Amino acid sequence: MSKTFASDNFSGAHPKVLENMIKINNGHQGAYGTDEYTDLGEKIIIEKLGANKVYFMLNGTGTNITILDSLTNNYGAVICSNMAHIYTHESGAASKVANITLLPVDTTDGKITIDGIKSYLYFKESYHFPRPQVISISQPTEMGAVYTIEELKELTSFAHENGLKVHMDGARISNAAAFLNVSLKEMTYWSGIDALSFGMTKNGIMFGEAAVFFNESAPEDFDYTRKQNLQLQSKMRFISGQYLAILKDDLWLKNARIANENAEYLARQLSEINEIDIVQKPSGNILYVKFPKKINTELQNFMYFYIENEESNMARLVTNFDTLKSEIDSFIEKIKELILK
């Protein structure tokens, strides 16, 4: 398949990640996280994020659900955006796997507010309702919006004052950090986040995830919860080794900046075409636009992207660390050609 604007999940792994995978493949290492690379991977994440505990996992959905499972009990609930991945794109895993009730807050860009959370707080006072125990946010949101550091601090302070922990779905946290020009530590530990799903598959690694806990919030039995939720990898070095490569010399940041710059460049080029409406400008590597319906099919055949909403004809375009400016230029020329056709 040729390059696409469909998803940053479509891109391959960064060459430096692949090089490290070959390196760590040599010889024998302990299983289930008892290898030297997992030890090093945990240490570098603790250092860069100010974390307390790190656990390597298999995938994003599993990490989200396992963390939330560990932070709630059997009557617990999680407050999230109505656009949150855990609510819309994880096939009911929260309720199926972890017996968690999700309490959605209506949003326009995926960012939940304190006012939106307040409506659920009275649930805590009655055993007739599932008790809110966690607030889950996505950084950036599924609509590409980014919480500022000030917004994160206000949200976490409010949560902690009301006895709630805050989980961050960081599938694209690299892009958010690059956009705000802040460190991963500023965005997580210094902002009061309790637990993070630390994703890098959209930014240069092949597979895997890390569950990261701050402020001694890691449950003592998380090892058991990870195993029960099918997230324990036997040859864990092939996950942790990828994190070693992507975090070394801030490769994660370089990749994210390239993806973000590509999105900005694409948005500028599209904004010069009168027939195109930019719905959501990029705050990272995602932008939402409306093309003339008559060109959708041929344009998707040229360089594939998703139509996010058929009714409103809203398309989602996602750039990658391996997207080239020349590919964006070709996409723009194709649009102009199809409009004039």
307 three-class SS: strand
In tens, the pLDDT along 259-293 reads 999 999 999 999 999 999 999 889 999 999 999 99
Sheet of 53-57, strand order:
53-57, 209-213, 195-199, 165-170, 131-138, 76-81, 101-105
Beta strands at 286-290 and 277-280: parallel, antiparallel or unpaired:
antiparallel
The C-alpha angle with vertex 301 and arms to 176 and 144, in degrees rounded to 5, equals 15
What percentage of the chain reaches a pLDDT higher than 90? 92
**Is the model's pLDDT at 340 over the cut of 80?**
yes
Mean per-residue pLDDT of the chain: 96
169 three-class SS: strand
Question: CA–CA separation, 223 vs 220, rounded Å?
Answer: 8
In tens, the pLDDT along 4-55 reads 999 999 999 999 999 999 999 999 999 999 999 999 999 999 999 999 999 9
How crowded is the C-beta side of 34, counted as CA atoms within 13 Å?
Answer: 6
**Is the model's pLDDT at 310 over the cut of 90?**
no
What tokens appear for 9 in the block? 């999940």
Residues 293 and 301 sit within 8 Å (Cβ to Cβ): no
**Contacts for 312 with CB less than 8 Å, ≥ 6 apart:** 290
Q: Confirm whether pTM is higher than 0.75.
A: yes
Residue with tokens 């959501």: 280
The C-alpha angle with vertex 85 and arms to 150 and 61, in degrees rounded to 5, equals 110
Q: What are the C-alpha distances in Å from 66 to residues 1, 28, 78?
A: 33, 29, 13
Task: Identify the DSSP state of 294.
Answer: G
Residue with tokens 């942790």: 240
Residues 76 and 130 sit within 8 Å (Cβ to Cβ): yes
237-247 and 36-49 helices, crossing angle to 10° = 40
Question: CA–CA separation, 311 vs 134, rounded Å?
Answer: 33
User: How does residue 66 score in pLDDT terms, banded at 50, 70 and 90?
Assistant: very high
Question: CA–CA separation, 307 vs 323, rounded Å?
Answer: 20
Element (H, E) at 66: helix 60-71
